[in-house]
Amino acid sequence: MPESYLHGLNDDICSIKGIGAKKKEQLSAAGIETVGDLLSYYPVKYKDRRNAVRAMDAGTERDSLVTGRLIKVQLRPLSGGRSMTECTLRDDSCVFYAVFFNMPYLRKTLDTGADYSLFGRMRVRNGARVWTNPEFSKTGGDRDVRGILPVYRHSAGLTDINLRKWIRDALDTTDLDTDWIGSDIAEERRLCGQRYAYSNIHFPESEQHYKKARYRLIYEKLLMYQLAVRVNGAGLRDDQTDSSVTETDMNEFYGGLPFELTEGQSKCIEEIMADLSSKRSMNRLVQGDVGCGKTVVAEAAMYRCAKSGLQSAMMAPTEILARQHFESISKDLSKHGIRCGLLVSGMKPAERRSVIDDTASGRIDVLIGTHALIQKDVLFSDLALVITDEQHRFGVAQRKIFANKGRGVNVCVMSATPIPRTLAATVFGDMDFSIIRSMPSNRKKIITRALDAHTRERAYIDMGRELEKGGRAYVIAPSIDSEDDDLYSVQKLFEEIKERYPGYTAALLHGRLPAEEKASIMDSFKEGRIQILVSTIVIEVGIDVPEATVIIIENSERFGLAQMHQLRGRVGRSSRQSYCYVINYSNTETAQTRARAMAEISDGFEISEVDYELRGPGDIMGTMQSGNTSNDILLLSRYTDILENAISDADKIMEEYRGGGSLTDVEYAYERLMHADAADNSNVI
């Protein structure tokens, strides 16, 4: 009875019971804006709470699940207007108690004589077995505390209990019965329906149910992506304006660089030049390990376009990186009379207006920025080239996004993430590849050591020595201000470091700081007024401060391997010897293997192989929900059998479409993908 449902997947999250302005803000910080986003906020793991124990057998060391009949409920007033509700229950082993503080209404809502399930830690008080403030529910009711229960990734103020409640409500009140995947495909691939998938990914009835749900969700994501790749490819590689330049012009650019290009850079630039002078527009992925020098390759391409009177846009994943690019690129290009502009979201309206006007009129040749570049009112007079740096989640869609901003747009995606060529071709569709294998010749291998709580000191001693020699240091921690004793927060480290290195200036950097403050801290660090930067992973990609020679990564167990490799790439950017310390505080095998891999492997391609191998099912589900960066799509694409099915089905759908069939599902896939892109909030940390 779809009519009786209240919500569609695209409805605002506030339409769910109990979500007001404050909760909406918290959800929004986790990237959840719509009912569909909420349902796609998949658990990272589950608690198996199917088997109750006898109350007599419950231990005091860990939480336990018991069920029993409610015999008596008593409300006892306490001092200061507080109260205690004491419930007496019995199972076939003994009488036991549940105590709730300050929930006087329970006395009226609990049914004496009914069976209840309790979950929590038992304590023995005066010989009685007591559960204090346990999770509880009527046994067999639809909010049962028993079962396989989801655990979510925690962010700003969201709790599992709330999320479970809202998701249950969304499942009950959303129209999930009109499936966008056609019934013929569903049948052939034995896919469960949407309702089944969402219900069982959150509240799986059994492992079997969970697997079926997961299979469908992975297939669905891959199919959406494959369709989007095809839609974007269709008819978009059209003729382009020739952006020819003279050799003298190009030589002027090369001559102005402070270094000789490496072989890898030269070859890559040649490939791009050939693309730009061909009739067909460019669609190229440039891969090269951190520090190999991709920025100058982008500069060469933008230089060429500007010299032919055409505009370029370059998009970076964070504001810090966009500003850095703006500074270094305008330094290199302005001496050739090329005008660069910066567009980021934190700008003053008047400033923004003037950049937008100059872009529309053609006074700006090269526009550099963040997502802000794809806003509707940003228009170009003659856009010919779009470069995205470290942000291939736009790779597949950028052509379409920029299609109404210019004509025959050339696309270049730069990435430090190594992607196996065969896989890349399947995932990205019609794209050419350049790989930069060589590093600038002045580089030394970064010395990396894996440390733990006992050997941690060593990192800070070495750091002191490097500071003395005039180096600069990064210290990275996983959280901003954690209460957790096992976790370093940048706040805590910052205090420690200020005390320890009184002769140096340290600064704190994280995503909650206002944009201008971040920018000014980065400037000071770059110029050496600050020597120690204590930071969260906001500095993960792209930041280039060649004087930095040490990076310490605290709580390495909280970081992914590829992520740590990116972090390590912040040092070793000059001819000086650099050092990286990863400090692991966890005994788990994965954490230890990751730390060891960092110490032993310096090559990005090898790192990414190990990274894939170490990722568990929890990661996969986490991935599915942010699932739009092509990294994530690549991870899912490791399910080669599912990928093959998705590819062949996408081809079939496109064929029907070309034959005059409906494009509804293709459009749907596209919308969903774009929506998820817009909602992505991965830069908040």
User: Among 116-124, 257-265, 356-364, 523-531, which window interacts with ligand ADP (CB under 6 A)?
Assistant: 257-265
Three-class DSSP labels, 42-62: CCCEEEEECCCCCHHHCCCCC
Residue nearest to Mg ion (CB): 542
Contact 411, 282 (CB under 8 A): yes
**Does 546 contact ligand ADP by CB under 6 A?**
yes
Q: How far is the CB of 294 from ligand ADP (least distance, A)?
A: 4
**Does 388 contact ligand ADP by CB under 6 A?**
no
Nearest to 91 by CA among 140, 58, 61: 58
What residues numbered 432-461 form the site for ligand ADP, per CB under 6 A?
Answer: 440, 442
Residue nearest to ligand ADP (CB): 293
Give the x-and-dash track for 399-428 against ligand ADP (CB under 6 A): -----------------x------------
Q: How far is the CB of 324 from Mg ion (least distance, A)?
A: 9
Give the span between the Cα atoms of 13 and 26, in whole angstroms.
11
Give the span between the Cα atoms of 126 and 128, in whole angstroms.
6
The SS3 call for residue 330 is: helix
User: Among 152-160, 232-240, 254-262, 501-509, which window interacts with ligand ADP (CB under 6 A)?
Assistant: 254-262
Nearer to Mg ion by Cβ, of 533 and 583: the residue is: 533
**Does 272 contact ligand ADP by CB under 6 A?**
no
Residue type, 296: V
**Does 511 contact ligand ADP by CB under 6 A?**
no
**Does 566 contact ligand ADP by CB under 6 A?**
no
Number of chain positions touching Mg ion (CB under 5 A)? 1
Number of chain positions touching ligand ADP (CB under 6 A)? 20
Nearer to ligand ADP by Cβ, of 544 and 554: the residue is: 544
**Does 288 contact ligand ADP by CB under 6 A?**
yes
In total, the chain counts a number of residues equal to: 685
User: Residue 407 CB: number of other CB atoms within 10 A?
Assistant: 16
CA-CA-CA-CA torsion sign (559, 563, 564, 568)? negative
Nearest-10 Cα torsion for 250, 251, 256, 261: 90
Nearest to 225 by CA among 647, 577, 516, 542: 647
Q: Is 323 exposed, middle or buried (0-12, 13-18, 19+ CB in 10 A)?
A: buried
Selected binder of ligand ADP within 31, 68, 291, 471 (CB under 6 A): 291
Selected binder of ligand ADP within 174, 281, 283, 295 (CB under 6 A): 295
Q: Are strands 383-389 and 406-415 parallel, antiparallel or unpaired?
A: parallel
Selected binder of ligand ADP within 261, 343, 521, 564 (CB under 6 A): 261
Selected binder of ligand ADP within 7, 284, 568, 573 (CB under 6 A): 573
**Does 294 contact ligand ADP by CB under 6 A?**
yes
What residues numbered 496-515 form the site for Mg ion, per CB under 5 A?
Answer: none
Give the span between the Cα atoms of 259 and 439, in whole angstroms.
13
What residues numbered 535-554 form the site for Mg ion, per CB under 5 A?
Answer: 542
**Does 262 contact ligand ADP by CB under 6 A?**
yes
Give the span between the Cα atoms of 466 and 459, in whole angstroms.
11
Q: CA-CA distances (angstroms) from residue 68 to 91, 92, 139, 293?
A: 5, 8, 9, 67
Orientation of helix 207-233 relative to helix 617-626, angle to 10° = 40
Contact 384, 305 (CB under 8 A): yes
Tokens 């170009």 -> residue: 380
**Does 325 contact ligand ADP by CB under 6 A?**
no
Nearer to ligand ADP by Cβ, of 139 and 602: the residue is: 602
Selected binder of ligand ADP within 70, 296, 366, 583 (CB under 6 A): 296
**Does 604 contact Mg ion by CB under 5 A?**
no
Selected binder of ligand ADP within 217, 245, 292, 451 (CB under 6 A): 292
Selected binder of ligand ADP within 143, 259, 444, 500 (CB under 6 A): 259
- Please give the angle made by the CA atoms of 518, 519 and 522, to the nearest 5 degrees: 85
Contact 301, 385 (CB under 8 A): yes
**Does 544 contact ligand ADP by CB under 6 A?**
yes
Residue 399 contacts which entry, Mg ion, ligand ADP, none (Cβ below 5-8 A, type-dependent) = none
Q: How far is the CB of 301 from ligand ADP (least distance, A)?
A: 13
- Please give the angle made by the CA atoms of 72, 73 and 74, to the nearest 5 degrees: 120
Residue 582 contacts which entry, Mg ion, ligand ADP, none (Cβ below 5-8 A, type-dependent) = none
For 61, residues 6+ apart whose C-beta sits below 8 A from its C-beta are none
Q: Give residues in contact with ligand ADP (CB under 6 A).
A: 259-262, 265, 288, 290-296, 416, 440, 442, 542, 544, 546, 573
Q: Give residues in contact with Mg ion (CB under 5 A).
A: 542
